[in-house]
Amino acid sequence: MKRTMKKYLRVFLPTVLGLFLFSSIASAHVTVAPKTSTTGAWETYTLKVPVEKEVPTTKVTVKVPSGLEIESYQPVPGWNYSTEKDANGKVKSFTFEATGEGILPGQFQQFVFVAKNPNTATKAPWDAYQYYKDGSVVEWTGDEGAKAPHSITDIVKATTADQNAMQNMNKTTSEKTSTKVAPNPTSSLPTILSVVAVLLSLIAVVVAFRKK
């Protein structure tokens, strides 16, 4: 019985350890979520940067996929945010750089930003460059299945429900604006009455002056 157990352990233990090690490595990728979004949406994206070495990560740069527009970002204590823009003023890439120790081994950091999706369905690849304190750089730019793959967001056509929700939102905003801009007849009534009162007073003064 003991020999049988030892035999099973010799066969299955390396397999289990191998699977655990593989899953740990796979989960160490730099990723951007969500994996799926809709056309025309103002999506909140989350960039997750884990450390896969025994030295801290001090900087990460991400190239913006074609057709997407970066609108804003969430500040992170201990990190500076900077962008590189094209001739039209649109963000081509953005960088988060640590002002302190950075992301330590065994840790990960999330960076949140908002981007406007294109109006046509597409696959958006997020090429990322992870900089370590020892000067090494991991380029997360490969296709799916590569050693260092980039994250991809599948931007699909918005459903009718999504479009209706956006239209209702725009309609509500328009109605609120119209309500604010439209004049209030009741608010102008005191002014009209004051003008009429002044005119009647002037007429009374003129009539009284003529009687004299």
Please tell me the predicted confidence (pLDDT) of residue 175: 54
Tell me the C-alpha distance between 178 and 112, whole Å: 34
Average pLDDT per consecutive 10 residues, the chain (212 residues; last block may be shorter): 51 41 54 98 98 97 98 98 97 98 97 98 98 98 94 93 54 47 48 60 60 59
Q: Count CB-CB contacts under 10 A for residue 113.
A: 21
Tell me the C-alpha distance between 118 and 121, whole Å: 7
Q: Catalogue all structural domains in the chain, each as residue range(s) with its CATH number.
A: 30-163 (2.60.40.2230)
Please tell me the predicted confidence (pLDDT) of residue 188: 53
Q: Quick check: pTM over 0.85?
A: no
Extract the tokens encoding 151: 């994250």
Extract the tokens encoding 15: 């397999």
Strands 36-38, 151-156: parallel, antiparallel or unpaired by DSSP? parallel
Please tell me the predicted confidence (pLDDT) of residue 159: 84
